[in-house]
Amino acid sequence: MTEPASSADPRNRVVAVTLDEASIGRSGPDIEHERAIAIYDLLEKNLFVPEGEFTGPFTLHIGITGNRLMFDIRREDGAPCVVHLLSLTPFRRIVKDYFMICDSYYQAIRTATPDKIEAIDMGRRGVHDEGSRTLMERLNGKIRVDFDTARRLFTLISVLHWKGEGAGT
Provide the domain limits for residue 112.
Answer: 5-164
Per-residue confidence (pLDDT) for residue 164, from 0 to 100: 43
Total count of domains within the chain: 1
Per-residue confidence (pLDDT) for residue 24, from 0 to 100: 64
Let me know if residue 105 belongs to a domain.
yes
Q: Which residues pair with 14 in a beta bridge?
A: 58
Q: What is the pLDDT of residues 80-110, one digit of tens each?
A: 999 999 998 999 899 889 888 888 988 898 9
Let me know if residue 22 belongs to a domain.
yes
Q: Is the pLDDT of residue 2 over 50?
A: no
Q: Is the pLDDT of residue 139 over 70?
A: yes
Q: What is the pTM of this model?
A: 0.85
Mean pLDDT of the chain: 86
What contacts 41, CB < 8 A, 6 or more positions away? 152
Per-residue confidence (pLDDT) for residue 44, from 0 to 100: 94
Let me know if residue 30 belongs to a domain.
yes
Let me know if residue 12 belongs to a domain.
yes
Closest CA to 99 of 21, 20, 43, 160: 160
Share of the chain above pLDDT 90, in %: 59
Let me know if residue 169 belongs to a domain.
no
Q: Which residues pair with 61 in a beta bridge?
A: 18, 72
- The answer to whether the peptide bond before residue 57 is cis (omega within 30 degrees of 0) is yes
